[in-house]
Amino acid sequence: MAHITLIRHGQANTQARDEISYDRLSDLGHRQAIWLGEHLRASANSHPRVFCGTLRRHRETAEGMAVGDPVQDERLNELEYFTLAKLMEEQHGLPMPVEREEFVSHLPQVFSAWHEDKLEGAPETFEHFENRITDVLTEIAAGSGPGLVITSGGLIAVVMRQMMRLDMEATAHVALAIMNTSMHRMYPIGDRMSPVLFNAVPHLEMPDRHFAQTHF
């Protein structure tokens, strides 16, 4: 098995309240991606195979990082959080957050309802989401050489759930912690993948870049 480094996309449109509006990088998101690409080249991190989802924010992050032409795979796309949140409001009376801080309590409730199949009309089941993640990462891990995967925070959180056998509450809190353009590495140990790096942002550690350590 080859090791895989997962990257969360740069900051997206923080003012959005629907999937389409959210799916583009902010000015800061573009800058975060450029800084990450510069860091990878300066530290001689070699990733002969690069993959990303088909969402605009994934492709824009890859472009900013200047990592070539990644293989695009829709199985690396994010869950439709805004769609799930709308169903949660309609079916269970939980309003969509107005302030970013409100997502801290909102996201775990949405994740739990989705996991328990309590959201009628969801774009996909949680089981399907998990299965497509497993399928695509198994294929990438079977390839030759380290793989770089540009994706989203919810997907990365579920990967951590699978490797560390987390319950849904813990999974939701992992998702909330993941920063934009953070790195997360999976390494083969024995016959399975294990996490050896989580939420690393060395390209944002300089004092004049601390402001760019964003979660939303």
Indicate which CATH number applies to the domain containing 18: 3.40.50.1240
The residue segments making up the domain with residue 95 are 7-143+153-186
Residues 101-146: pLDDT tens digits? Answer: 788 899 999 999 999 999 999 999 999 999 999 999 999 999 999 9
In a domain, 216, yes or no: no
Number of domains forming the structure of the chain: 1
In a domain, 210, yes or no: no
Which value, in Å, is the radius of gyration of the alpha carbons in the chain?
17
In a domain, 174, yes or no: yes
Q: Which two tokens stand for residue 118?
A: 């309590």
In a domain, 162, yes or no: yes
In a domain, 193, yes or no: no
Question: Residue 56 to residues 43, 125, 126, 152: CA-CA distances in angstroms?
Answer: 27, 23, 23, 11
In a domain, 201, yes or no: no
Q: What is the pLDDT of residue 190?
A: 85
In a domain, 178, yes or no: yes
User: What distance in Å separates the CA atoms of residue 106 and residue 156, rounded to the nearest whole number?
Assistant: 19
In a domain, 63, yes or no: yes
Tell me the pTM: 0.94
Residues 141-191: pLDDT tens digits? Answer: 999 999 999 999 999 999 999 999 999 999 999 999 999 999 999 998 888
Q: What is the pLDDT of residue 87?
A: 97
